[in-house]
Amino acid sequence: MRNRIADLRSEHAWTQADVAQRVGVSRQTINAIETGKFDPSLPVAFRLARLFELKIEEIFLDEQ
């Protein structure tokens, strides 16, 4: 699954650590999600969506 987190972070001038702190996970988790090594749990996906004020499906894109 692709995602737009790195682009959204850049738009807000936030680091991975900034996003991680705001959603309550580690910087390594944000890095793993951004690079596609890890898909977030549903609660983390909802927190990311709230942070960026978007719907989950606007952040996480199905590769099909």
Q: Is the pLDDT of residue 37 over 80?
A: yes
Query: Which of these, 54, 41, 60, lies nearest to 11 by C-alpha position?
Result: 54
Q: What is the DSSP letter of 40?
A: P
Report field, pTM of the whole predicted structure over 0.75:
yes
Residue 1 — very low, low, confident or very high, per pLDDT cuts 50/70/90? Answer: confident
Angstrom distance (rounded) from CA 11 to CA 49: 15
What separation in angstroms does the CA of 12 have from each of 17, 39, 64? Answer: 13, 22, 28
- Tokens 């099909």, located at residue: 64
The residue with greater pLDDT, 64 or 55, is 55
